[in-house]
Every structure is written in structure tokens, then in C-alpha cells.
Amino acid sequence: MLQFWLGLFVILHGLVHLWYVTLSQQLVAFQPAMGWSGRSWLLTGILGDGAARTLASALYLLAALALVAGGVGIFLQAGWWRPMLAAAAIISTAAILLFWDGNLQMVAQKGLIGLLINAALLALVALPLLE
């Protein structure tokens, strides 16, 4: 039963990343209550807004796909779920850190919760649970 809930949680965590793809592609109008502006503290100034948003979309989409695959791997008890989940958590963490806007307001909406989830997923991968 734990395996089912964990797999579902990982898949849902992956699907949340699609919201950041939506925001980075400006498919919805930005509202301050959304938190994440789509700007990067590091890359927007270097790459420009458009290229930085495109890179954000690619990283968040890759993280979403890898997390969904990792969740499916957990459901299937596939031998590859651990490396897939580790890669997904690392990609997600990199995206969150690279595309943080540098502002400490609304950090939960900007990825703090995602960072905590990714840390927990990396700990799960390292521990011999769900064998």
C-alpha cells in the first residue's frame, strides 16, 4: 500500500512542474499571488528573458517527465525507479535553484516545498525501503 501512495505522490509532484512550464511559457498572465515570475536570478541577465524562459520550460518539463516515470517505476516495482527518481529530483532541484528570482517573498510558491520534497525523495532513493 505504501508503494501505491508513494508512486502516486511522485507522479503528482511531477505534474506540479507543468505549472512552471505554463508560467515560463507565459500561457497565463502573471499574477503576483502566483509567486514565481519566470525570471532567474542567474540566467535572465545572461541569456535574456526569452532564452531563460525556454530553458526553464525545458528543465521543468524534463523534471516532470522523469518524476512521472519514476512514479510509474515505483508502481511497477521496476529496477530502474531509484536512478530515475534520483535524476528527476536532481533536475527539479537544479531548475528550482536556477530559476529562483532571488526574492525571499513567497518562497513556498517559488519552489521551497519542491526542494523539501526533492530532498525527501533523494533520501528515499538512498534508503533500502520498498525493496
Reported as a single tens digit per residue, the pLDDT across 80-96 is 999 999 999 999 999 99
Give me the number of domains the chain comprises: 1
Residue 23 maps to a domain: yes
What amino acid is encoded at 28 in this protein? V
Residue 131 maps to a domain: no
Cβ atoms of residues 49 and 39 within 8 Å: yes
Mention every residue, 6+ apart, whose C-beta is less than 8 A from residue 128. none
Residue 31 maps to a domain: yes
All three cell numbers of 82, joined, read 531509484
Cβ atoms of residues 125 and 82 within 8 Å: yes
What confidence score (pLDDT) does residue 91 get?
A: 98
Mean pLDDT, rounded, for 3-19? 97
Is pTM beyond 0.75 here?
A: yes
